[in-house]
Amino acid sequence: MARPIILAVDDDVNVLEAVVQDLRRRYGADYRVMRAAGGQAALDTLSQVKERNENVALLISDQRMPGLTGVQVLERSREVYPEARRVLLTAYADTEAAIQAINSARIHYYLNKPWDPPEERLYPVVSDLLESWRLGYRPRFEGLTVLGHRWSARDHEIRSFLSCNHVPYRWLDVDGEEGSKLLQERKLESAEFPVVLFPDGASLAAPSPEELAQRVGLKIQASKDFYDLVVVGGGPAGLAAAVYGASEGLRTLVVEPEAPGGQAGTTSLIKNYLGFHQGITGAELGQRALLQAQAFDVEFVTQRAAGLRIDGQYNFICMSDGREVSSHAVVLAPGVQYRKLDVPGAERLTGRGIYYGAALVEAPSCKDEDVYVVGGANSAGQAALHFSKYARTVTMLVRGPGLAATMSKYLIDEIGRTSNIVLRPQTQVIRAIGEEHLEGLRLRGPNGEEEVKAESLFVFIGAAPRTDWLPPAILRDEKGFILAGPDLRNDGKLPPEWQETREPFLLETSVPGVFVAGDVRHGSVKRVASAVGEGSIAVQFIHQYLAGF
């Protein structure tokens, strides 16, 4: 397969040659560095490589050029290669125009001339952008195939599992021409759906997550019986704890039943996370954190924690397959799940038109449909913006009078600029309608009740902690969120479960050596940045705890 292309654009031959040479010196082994001596020449080049089905990873264009400016070239390049990363090369006098272009032309970065030394002022930026492009890049399909029905809840679960774990796959409807033909070729007409087909000719009918994880190369069993630190949950808090723990010498295991990234991993775009001015998808953030953790030898297993057993100074995590692993310290970061929509018909149609969370795998299937989103927090706003790229309309159903009290202003502003998003305040779903799949909704609003046609409903109505597997010794509040540190006190007194003479550390639960981080903690701030902060801080308290052994 041809190497992806980096295209440099400048009408000044000397500057263009310098850019090309610097890029080739660092990236020539993995990318083909091409040049274009002007804006129109660049667009012509893009059209030619598009006809050859080649991939463009990055464009770097000078701003001041006759005919087309750099901003115009990069903006028009989006029509041909929308996923390519775009960098504007400017003089200091053009900095203001470059900053404006970040929003107007969706430019990912701008660099001032001169960029010497490139090791400090060029390569870090370009490397980060290429890594970002690579994580979202989908080469010519050579992965596995899922044969199923769109309105199957099990089919939806398998596709979500594969997508969240970055396993390439294509989905085919068993009733479609290509799907039914493939079914006959493999002689699988009587198989239970969905069926997963592998490139080597093997197949799995309606596999469990553990079966599928093992078949695609994910670990489902820990390699050791004992670790210094076991982290339960692979969301931002858990990944941060794993990175900081392992980087400071702790043998670390992460237990995650679905995929690194957690609930944040399904977020279409996070734009208020520090350091990512263009935003970053939850999946990409999770993948970057996973690679970082693996670089520190963190071990990951695709398993569900089913219990926690305390034996002296040792903590035993009981897995869903019956095995156990022990450790000196535990970080509980299993995250939360969206609360269920408690209306007639909702349970029956879950996974068959009603989805909890962003359900990004369903977005392409919503093309030209009318999609409904329930909820008014940031996650609902991010999902609405993502689905608006595919759906004919996206209607946000909000119980309150508006979004100002529950959503970040940058999202409210962007929703206001998106013509096919409709906001319906003070409106609730009171019934889900449909037999085999969702067909409509009954709504109650300020003007009474009405029925609307709907094939997809995405629900974001508050968080329920995943803590029912924990023993009674881990104290929780009335909603199931885990108490820690000062929150363990009741009327100024520590609970009888706390047997230590010292005070519990800030993120330490009612069991010494067991810490909590992220959304599952009582009183936590439901933001990615705060979850990452708690995960890293927990490790510092773990060191203090271990020092007392």
The confidence score (pLDDT) of residue 138 equals: 63
pLDDT tens, 21-73? 999 999 999 999 999 999 999 999 999 999 988 999 999 999 989 989 999 99
328 and 395 belong to one structural domain: no
333 alpha carbon, distance to own chain's centre: 16
Return mean pLDDT, the chain: 91
Q: Do the domain assignments include residue 211? A: no
Confidence of residue 515 (pLDDT cuts 50, 70, 90): very high
Task: Give the mean model confidence (pLDDT) for residues 318-324.
Answer: 93
Domain holding 431, by residue range, is 354-461
Q: Give the pLDDT confidence score for residue 1 in this predicted structure.
A: 55
Residue 289 lies in a domain: yes
Same-domain status, 450 and 437: yes
Query: Which of 136, 156, 174 represents a domain boundary (last residue)?
Result: 136
Q: Report pLDDT for 486.
A: 95
Q: Is 468 inside a domain boundary? A: yes
Q: Output DSSP code: residue 343.
A: S
For residues 386 and 414, membership in a common domain is answered with: yes
According to DSSP, residue 481 is labeled P
Q: How many CB atoms lie within 10 A of CB 492?
A: 5
Q: What is the CATH number of the domain that holds 397?
A: 3.50.50.60
The residue whose two tokens read 């869903």 is 320
SS3 of 484-549: the string is: CHHHHCECCECCCCCCCCCCCCCCECCCCCEEECCCCECCCCCCHHHHHHHHHHHHHHHHHHHHCC
Q: Is residue 221 part of a domain?
A: no
Q: Give residue 296's pLDDT band: very low, low, confident or very high (50, 70, 90).
A: very high
Do 14 and 120 share a domain, yes or no? yes
The conformation of residue 470, written as its DSSP 8-state character, comes to: S
Kindly tell me if the per-residue pLDDT of 473 is higher than 60.
yes
Percent of the chain residues past pLDDT 70, beyond the cut: 99
Residue 249 has a pLDDT of 96
> How many beta carbons lie within 10 A of that of residue 14, not counting itself?
8
The CB-based long-range contact list for 497-502 (8 Å cut-off, 24+ gap) reads 497/473, 502/548
CATH code for position 116: 3.40.50.2300
Question: 408-466 pLDDT, tens per residue?
Answer: 999 999 999 999 999 999 999 999 999 989 999 999 999 999 999 999 999 999 889 99
For 188, other C-beta atoms within 10 Å of its C-beta total: 17
Q: Please state, in angstroms and rounded to a whole number, the distance separating the CA atoms of residues 488 and 468.
A: 19
How big is the chain by its Cα radius of gyration, in Å? 26
Do residues 27 and 117 share a domain? yes
pLDDT (mean) for 367-380: 93
Assess if residue 301 is contained within a domain: yes
153, 178, 206: which is the final residue of a domain? 206
In this structure, is residue 216 part of a structural domain? Answer: no
Q: How big is the chain, counted in residues? A: 549
Domain count, the chain: 4
